[in-house]
Structure 1
Amino acid sequence: MDLTLSQGQYDLVYNSFSFVIASMGASLLFFILVRGRVSPRHRMAITLSTIVVGIALYHYVRIFNSWVEAFTYTGGQYVQDGIPFNEAYRYVDWLLTVPLLLAELVVVLKLDSGKTRSLLVRLTVAALAMIIAGYPGELAAPDSTAKVVWGIVGTLPFIYILYVLFVELGNSLGRQAPGVTRLLSGLRWILVITWTVYPIAYFVPAVIDDPVTAEVLRQVGYSVADVLAKPLFGLLVLAIALAKSRDEGYLEPGEPDLSSPEKGRQASTV
């Protein structure tokens, strides 16, 4: 269906995509610069965060360009009469980044190797099933049975992921330091709250009669959710990795060891 957007509606989506690009780019640079402050044992989680925002940055540039190419400014409005907007960029991004987001959480916990492997496999399979099931519904007509059916099918692995996060991973929180436990608990809630935005945005076209308003809300909703679920999530993973590094006594290269009074006096004279 071709859409005709007012300048304000078009600009809202346009600026949302621009904001996401800036957020992903800034996060990518930040994660690269601070990675050395984390002990080598926990750097894999930061590496995953860096990869996630890097992949998202690339895809949002493509999404942004596709949005611009799909519309022509005519008579004070933006008419969708160009190259069709490519929704698949977003789903390809999710296929790559969602399993990596879950891996960040599992890796930073530092569970035993068997438990880590099991969680990674199960969460990855569930994440892929959720995204693959959602794509046909995204392409279906807003009021069609196919959209509802595929939406429900995609929700089932979503519920399973929530179960794993709050039951199985929750059981591991007692083995973490108190400060780390609070951060991990917040990390799980951030993941759940931000992921809840995705199904809401997905079903917006089915509950709002105006297709233009529905499309604008859907694109902006997905964009906001991606910023919260990727850069913000990565910052919390970084905070956990830094807290664990400090608890383990990790010192950055050139940083004095102040763990004893004698070492503190030596450092103060430098």
Structure 2
Amino acid sequence: MIPDLLTAGQFATVYNALSLVIAAQLFTAIFLVVSLPRVLARYRPAVTVALIVCGIAAYHYFRIFDSFTAAFTTDSVGGTGEYTQAVGVAFNEGYRYVDWLLTVPLLLVELVAVLALARAMQNRLLLQLVPASILMIALGYPGEVSGDLVVRTVFGILSTIPFLFILYVLFVQLSKSLALQPEAVRGTLSRLRFLLVLSWGVYPIAYLLPALDLGADGWVWKQVGYSIADIVAKAVYGLLIYQVAKTKSWLEDPKFAEHERPLVGSVRRVADLDKAA
């Protein structure tokens, strides 16, 4: 399924998409590390999982980037010509699935952790969501690496079954728990579920692109689609998890909120002074 030849434009598109994901994941992880003390201890596990997810993604995208640049080479000066597959080197799509096998279950752990539910309810949700997410990724991989359209379709359908179960848990069972959350964060938590589902919706589209027989263009846009989905599902999602954790921390502990607000106010005053100058 990997093309033998890429134009300079196609190579640059994938190159830049992978670079963008590395930057987004890495600096989101750094931001979350710095911001961890700004939430109460009970919400720090959720933020910690979010930064771990971004860290894992950054690491694997470094590996994907290295694999891509090693797999396609050119003899033209300045990289303006065509790129062909290097002899004895192949682009390793497996890095993505190793990443998803680790990060997709953790994304669901983030959501459950930031809700801070009773231990029994939390464990019940995790026992449903985590195995289903692992099964979803594991069933998708054989189809991803297969050049047989039938095999690709069969495993695509099989991986959809646990995906539908995850949707049921998120939008039916989890809805009862959202009603117990502070009103200030209910809307964000509800949108988090939709953000997760919408970003995951990019994966099957990218998964099916090679089946449309679009040649190198189909492969390139598959890589771009996966990259955009990973930024939304990990970096953006992680920042929203942090926002929920911070809001709940301030609502639950007024003293903690008063300690944090002067810091916010001082930053704003410095910004105002800079504008005035």
TM-score (norm 2): 0.89
- Cα distance in structure 1, aligned partners of 2:261 and 2:161: 50
Query: Within the alignment, does 1:242 sit opposite 2:246 as a pair?
Result: yes
Query: Within the alignment, does 1:210 sit opposite 2:211 as a pair?
Result: no
- Residues 234, 256 of structure 1: CA spacing in aligned structure 2 closer, same or farther, 3 A cutoff? closer
- Runs of 5+ unmatched residues, structure 1: 259-270
- Residues 2, 12 of structure 1: CA spacing in aligned structure 2 closer, same or farther, 3 A cutoff? closer
**Counterpart for residue 29 of structure 2:** 28
**Counterpart for residue 196 of structure 1:** 201
- Residues 257, 91 of structure 1: CA spacing in aligned structure 2 closer, same or farther, 3 A cutoff? closer
Report SS of the residue matched to 1:79.
strand
CA displacement 1:123-147 (0-9 Å, x = unmatched): 1110110000000000111x52100
Query: Within the alignment, does 1:54 sit opposite 2:48 as a pair?
Result: no
**Counterpart for residue 182 of structure 1:** 187
Aligned-pair identity in percent equals: 47
Give the conservation status (yes or no) of the 8 Å contact 1:6–1:77. Answer: yes
- Residues 219, 256 of structure 1: CA spacing in aligned structure 2 closer, same or farther, 3 A cutoff? closer
Give the conservation status (yes or no) of the 8 Å contact 2:43–2:114. Answer: yes
Equivalent residue pairs, number: 256
Give the conservation status (yes or no) of the 8 Å contact 1:17–1:64. Answer: yes
Segment drifting more, 50-59 vs 171-180: 171-180
- Cα distance in structure 2, aligned partners of 1:189 and 1:256: 30
CA displacement 1:203-237 (0-9 Å, x = unmatched): 11112x22201100110000000000001000110
Q: Of 171, 184, 190, which residue of structure 2 is paired with 1:166?
A: 171
How far is 1:257 from its partner?
A: 9.1
Matches within 5 A, 1:46-195: 46-74=47-75, 76-82=81-87, 83-141=89-147, 144-195=149-200
- Cα distance in structure 1, aligned partners of 2:22 and 2:68: 14
- Cα distance in structure 1, aligned partners of 2:254 and 2:239: 19
Question: Which structure has the highest helix share of the two?
Answer: 2
- Cα distance in structure 2, aligned partners of 1:3 and 1:67: 13
CA displacement 1:46-73 (0-9 Å, x = unmatched): 0000100010010000000000000111
How far is 1:81 from its partner?
A: 2.4
- Cα distance in structure 2, aligned partners of 1:96 and 1:130: 12
- Residues 250, 47 of structure 1: CA spacing in aligned structure 2 closer, same or farther, 3 A cutoff? farther
- Cα distance in structure 2, aligned partners of 1:161 and 1:47: 23
Which contiguous aligned blocks of 4+ residues in structure 1 show a shift greater than 3 angstroms? 250-254
- Cα distance in structure 1, aligned partners of 2:75 and 2:209: 27
- Cα distance in structure 1, aligned partners of 2:186 and 2:45: 19
- Cα distance in structure 1, aligned partners of 2:114 and 2:94: 31
- Cα distance in structure 2, aligned partners of 1:241 and 1:183: 11
- Cα distance in structure 1, aligned partners of 2:26 and 2:126: 27
- Cα distance in structure 2, aligned partners of 1:256 and 1:237: 18
Give the conservation status (yes or no) of the 8 Å contact 1:71–1:78. Answer: yes
- Cα distance in structure 1, aligned partners of 2:177 and 2:218: 41
Report SS of the residue matched to 1:169.
helix
CA displacement 1:49-103 (0-9 Å, x = unmatched): 0100010010000000000000111451011124110111110000110000000
Q: Of 216, 225, 228, which residue of structure 2 is paired with 1:224?
A: 228
- Runs of 5+ unmatched residues, structure 2: 263-277
